[in-house]
Structure 1
Amino acid sequence: MPHFTSVINWSLRIGLGLLQQVAPIDVPWMAIIDHSIDVGTKKALVVLRVPLAALALRGAALRLEDCQCIGLVVAETVNAKTVAQQLKAIFARAGLPSAITKDSDATLNKGVRLWMDQAQTTVALTEDLGHVMASALKAQFEPTEHYKRFTTLATKAAKALRQTDLAFLVPPKLRSKGRFLSVAKLARWGEKMLEVMAVKGRAKKGSTLARLRAFITAFATTAVTVSQLMEILKNKGLDPHTEAQCRQLAEHLPADSRVKQRFCLWLDHHSAIQRHLTDLPLIVSSDILESLFGHFKYILERSPQADMNRTTLLLPALCGNPDQATLANALANASHGDLVAWETAQIPIPSARKGQHSLPPIKAKKREILRSNNGPISTS
């Protein structure tokens, strides 16, 4: 039976081999790009290639086997210029996409537009629906006093209900980052608590929950409607049929709702892109990249050193559905020496380690100090 380190090295060689096999394809495709979460001092820019027909063929949300990792760059410095340089190298090898899907990150936006300017080309740009809706929900609700009181109430309820007979009523955990990406769970909890406390005698008259009833109802209606809109578009894509469904569903939101206004603007813009680009449903979500990062994070958590190194080559290996011949070819064309060479060229040395490498050996430094204080050191 092979040692586990051998299995790890084989997996990394497959990832490197698959990256080296990237080449242009004949069918129209979309690039989904994003930066990973910070691991240590580094971030990884990952670019996935997804055929425009993938969503229609699957009939449901994308899965990792529908994608190919065509770009992987690990860096400590991330700005528009570095993103543009990285995309130039990736698309020179993989060919030009028909469209690029990304979130609303300013660095990615500037980097993609800088790359297009430098390449003197134009590619359709689509915004990830989940991040757009999260930003709209945040803009509408987070500044309000009612929302702050509601989240405070949820935090107190969680502390009071844990490890009690009523633990099934504990609210969902409030995330510090990306809270509004999953805020529908909190909204549904609020609705549930209103139902539980609606029975006479269960809540004091004039309680905080009672005073927040109107806000919770409006908040839940908005968040749940947004969740339904995203479920349709993430699973079926955007085409004339789903556009009509979503416009009808959006009518449930108040006319002055910021969320409704932002969604309608997004829908108008992306419907025009879909009509110009393809007859197929348009992919409007980058969730598949979040799924890939989730798989990688789970693997990385088992590592004693939480830092990005050549283990990032697992990302290409987690994508697609390569056959035996493709895997054999990837292994044959990526040796252990190639792994070492790739790591040396691609993985930047952390600043702290650079400082360590520049220091003279401890013994030599000690001898130098003694020599300066006491004169020549006898070696006899």
Structure 2
Amino acid sequence: MVKSGINFGETFSANPKYWLHNILPQRRALKYTDGQILALEITTSPTGEWVQSVLNSVSSRVGIPFQIISDHASNLKKGIQLFQSHHPSIIYTYDLTHAMAKLLEKELFADELFPNFLSDCHQCRLEIQQTEFAFATPPPQRRKSRFFNLDPLLRWATTLVSIPLLKFFKLLPNYHRDRISRRFFAKFSWLFRYQRHIKLWSLLLHMTRSLETLLKTYGLNSASIYLYHQYLSSLHLPSSFLPFQHQIFHYLHSQLPSHISHTILTSSDILESIFGRYKHFSQRSPLQELLSLLLTIPLSTVNLTKQFIHDALTTITNSDLSQWVDSTFGQSMLSKRNSLFSNNKFS
């Protein structure tokens, strides 16, 4: 699994035989400790050629991979395809979660009402977060990757258009019912013009989420594709959904190599999760720069036994870490900032 961040990239590896025989029968997703970080590289120019060079370096140490999973970031896609051109037996899989998010984005924004709905949700949040209805505010929207996290917003909208006012009367016992009714319709009546569309949007989302659950549990093979087809048939989808359904099946068949008879992975969620943990830690760093906190990425895959912690504390000193940071990153942003402003004090 390969991921590229701002000025760095990471490669996570899980043994395909171990996954097939030990993890897949448990019907669970990969855990951090099911694999290891094979590379954590830093660059000022993360081009496709750079990605290829990293893959070449890793394969020279551990061997040619059976499968590579990643999103379709242009540099990653180019680098992996360059690497694959020299090793055509490698299966290159477009990450399921990213693929479904892209399909959703294209489908939902084809409906001109959807961006209006998002804008109205944001405006509603601003208007009621300081009122007695603050507990019913729409969930915050992501600035990036919003289609990875649509579930809470559509769940909120579905609840608000279907919940009886009696529920609000009980939750706001100190307010007169007439006031609650007037305020409710003043703040939330805009939702009802989207009511039919909310149901359709939620159904589109359900189509992708049910596929993600299936493949992340059972993997991708001809049987899982058949199971998904049967499930969609049971939903009695409207005919207008057929083009979207065809796009999903096109993705599935394009990712299943004809010469492979066994089950394959389709998701690099574990690598996204590891990167998410790193971002959580990096927010504590001054100016959020890339420094020693990068080491939390490979550390996430380690079983932190007493012996491991003892060995780390007795073999690696703080001086060793400081030297590594200095040689890898040079002077820190905070140090540069302090140097810039230290002599410019107001008299």
| Conservation of the 8 A alpha-carbon contact between 1:100 and 1:124 | yes
Q: CA separation of 1:69/1:147 partners in 2, compared to 1, >3 Å: closer, same or farther?
A: same
The Cα shift of 1:93 comes to 1.1
Give unmatched runs, 5+ long, in structure 2.
167-180
Is the contact made by 2:13 and 2:37 (CA closer than 8 Å) also made in structure 1? yes
The residue that corresponds to 1:173 in the other structure is: 140
Q: Offset of 1:299 from its aligned partner?
A: 1.9
Which residue among 11, 33, 56 is the counterpart of 1:47? Answer: 11
* d(CA) in 2 for partners of 1:115, 1:291: 25
Per mean C-alpha deviation after superposition, the further-off stretch among 320-329 and 254-263 is 320-329
One of 197, 213, 228 as aligned partner of 2:195: 213
Partner in structure 1 of residue 269 of structure 2: 287
Q: In 2, are the aligned partners of 1:98 and 1:123 still within 8 Å (CA)?
A: yes
Deviates more, 1:74-83 or 1:230-239: 230-239
Deviation at 1:219, TM superposition (A): 0.8
Distance in structure 2 (CA, Å) of the matches to 1:120 and 1:353: 45
Deviation per CA, 1:153-195, whole angstroms, max 9, x where unpaired?
Answer: 2112212332433333221211110011111222222211221
State how far apart, in whole Å, the 2-side matches of 1:327 and 1:239 are.
41
AA aligned opposite 1:284: T
Residue-pair matches, total = 316
Aligned residue among 114, 125, 147 for 2:114: 147
Distance 1:96-1:329 versus aligned 2 partners, 3 A rule: farther
> Counterparts of 1:322 and 1:234 in 2: how far apart (Å)?
26
**Is the Cα contact below 8 Å between 1:187 and 1:220 reproduced in 2?**
yes
Cα distance between partner residues in 2 of 1:56 and 1:158: 42
| Equivalent residue for 1:268, pick from 227, 231, 253 | 253
Query: What's the CA shift for 1:214?
Result: 2.0
TM-score by length of 2: 0.78
TM-superposed deviation, 1:152: 2.1
1:238 equivalenced with 2:220 (yes/no):
yes
Identity of aligned residues (%): 24
In structure 2, relative to structure 1, the CA distance for the partners of 1:154 and 1:116 (3 Å cut) is same
Residue 76 of structure 2 corresponds to: 108
Q: Greater CA deviation, 159-168 or 181-190?
A: 159-168
C-alpha spacing 1:339/1:353, structure 2 compared with 1 (3 Å):
closer
Q: Residue type matched to 1:161 in 2?
A: I
TM-score of the pair, normalised by structure 1: 0.72
1:46 maps to amino acid:
E
**Cα deviations by residue, 1:274-307 (Å, 9 ceiling, x for unpaired):** x74463x422111111111122122222223421
Matched, 1:35 2:4: yes
Map 1:1-380 to 2 at 5 A: 32-36=1-5, 38=6, 43-52=7-16, 53-54=18-19, 55-56=23-24, 58-117=26-85, 119-196=86-163, 203=185, 208-251=190-233, 252=235, 253-257=237-241, 258-270=243-255, 272-273=256-257, 276-277=259-260, 279=262, 281-321=263-303, 339=321, 342-343=324-325, 346-347=328-329
Deviations 1:72-129 (A, max 9, x none): 1012211111111111112211211100000121110001111233x45441011111
Matched residue SS, 1:266: helix
Give SS of 1:243's match: helix
Structure-2 change in CA distance of 1:327 and 1:262 (3 Å): farther
Q: 1:230/1:69 Cα in 2 relative to 1: closer, same or farther (>3 Å)?
A: same
Partner Cα distance (1:125, 1:348) in 2: 36
Question: Whose helix proportion is higher, 1 or 2?
Answer: 2
Q: Is the 8 A contact 1:66 1:320 kept in 2?
A: no
Report the CA distance between 1:243 and its aligned residue: 2.3
Gaps of 5+ in 1: 1-31, 363-380
Which residue identity is paired with 1:129? Answer: L
Find the structure with the greater CA-based Rg.
Answer: 1
Equivalent residues of 2:51, 2:79 under 8 A apart: yes
Q: Which deviations, in whole Å up to 9, do the C-alpha atoms of 1:323-374 show, x marking residues without a partner?
A: 66777777788677765665466447789999xx9xxxx9xxxxxxxxxxxx
Q: Per-residue displacement from partner, 1:256-277 (whole Å, max 9, x unpaired)?
A: 435322211111123x33x744
CA distance, structure 1, for counterparts of residue 273 and residue 297 of structure 2:
11
RMSD (CA atoms)? 3.4
Distance 1:248 1:348 in 2: 57
